[in-house]
Structure 1
Amino acid sequence: MDNTLPLSQSDSIALLYGKPLDKVPAGLYIPPDALKVFLESFEGPLDLLLWLIQKQKFDVMDIPMATLTEQYMQYVELIRKNNLDLAGDYLVMAAHLMAIKSQLLLPLRKADTGEEVEDPKAELMRRLIEYQKMKLAAQELDRLPISGRDFSPVDVSKPESAPDLPDVSLDELRRAWRSVMARIKLQERHTVTREELSVREHMSSILKQLQTRSYVEFTDVFENTPTFAHALVSYLAILELAKEAMIRITQAAPFAPIWLTLSHREETLL
């Protein structure tokens, strides 16, 4: 039995102890599944043709059809007798290559209209070029990071006990103060009294409220303010506490409620 594998002289089927092997050793058993895995490594006849062209460094626009057809048939012959279902598409392409090769062997004739006859390889070259473009595009897409393969999404949530709210702007604080003043003027009585008010006492009162509550809304500080003078002193107490970094004034979004909370330094002291 002749075990010589029909390959070109420059190629070998394997390396044995560093030496090229150009024929299958006698008595070597090749499982049918090995041939199946071998051909399934290609994605179809065009993929096999493109691999042969690139391996031999052929020009796609000038393919030596005789050499390409011969090499292609060598690979198809490996599986034709073992797995005909797997080789079906490859056999169709083999017949197409044989037809092109036969047309190239015939004398070149001009058409009746006088125009030049189309090159039999033109359609095959067009399909190979399009397939090569699609394959390169697929490789470029595969290089892009893919969720679950190259990276894993991470869901990071802030603890509810320590929200990181943005600092309130001066315009928002001024707008809230004007709103409080407008409400107090509607309830204010025009009485003339002399009362000594202490900013320090109001600062202590605000700090006591914040000891029992994590957050106090800006307007709640003025909820039980009887007069404009009391409201003014409470507002100065808030500004003084913020200046001394004993409280933080925060607001989640423009026109949202303004909140007062103890600063980290004040919480440590308490």
Structure 2
Amino acid sequence: MANRALAGNPNLNTLGVVAPPPILVQTPAFEGTLATLFRCVREHKVDLLEVPMEPICEAYLCYLMESPAANLDEAAAALTVLAYLLERKAWQLLPVVEEDEPEMDEATALPDPTTYEYADVIQRLMENHDERTKLFFRTATPQLDLYEIPYDVGDVTAGDLAKAFERLLRRANPEPVELLAKPRKSIQEQMKFVLLALKPSYQRIEEMFVGEYTRTDAVYWFLALLELIRLGSAQVKLEGEEVLFAKK
């Protein structure tokens, strides 16, 4: 039905719109029909500012004068195109208001440095920071996998071991003056001496010492003995109020 209507009206284009009549436009910037000028302006192929509108209006007026029996639809289509071109060029001819660029203020002088006023506070904060780096905090939720399961020592409690260690310290001699560069003892080496001093039969910790010793010797000896108990190389039991040790 639509194709039949288009075929019956030769003035309709393929879109069903009345095409402007073939009005010839001759200007220094463009030469062609009014419909071609309209299409080129819409597709930004022709700068309308360079095309004078007087020859176009004169060509449209001549078309009306020379064709008294012109098709009203074609004349209306040509007038619509002419109105579009006039409005488009009028907008382009309007002056564009350019905003004045804001003037840059002169650079203000920088304030004098005032760090020296807070030198004491800065020094105190640095000292607090250094002290805090030496502290270690435990998380709120303990991670049990990081701790060893306490080994079984029977009826012997930590208090019993502390009493045995206290008796050992009472017999220790005063510490001699030593050089600061003296290397520290090794618990692993001390464990060898303690293991040799242990016997298969139970004995008190004081009986394992031969000769004189210092408080430092007593500390290393006791730590090595606890490590041997943890590793299962030594055993401990409580007999009355006495804590006895033996080789396992």
* TM band (smaller chain): 0.3 to 0.5
TM-score with structure 1 setting the length: 0.31
The structure having more radius of gyration, on CA atoms, is 2
Question: Which TM-score applies when normalising by structure 2?
Answer: 0.34
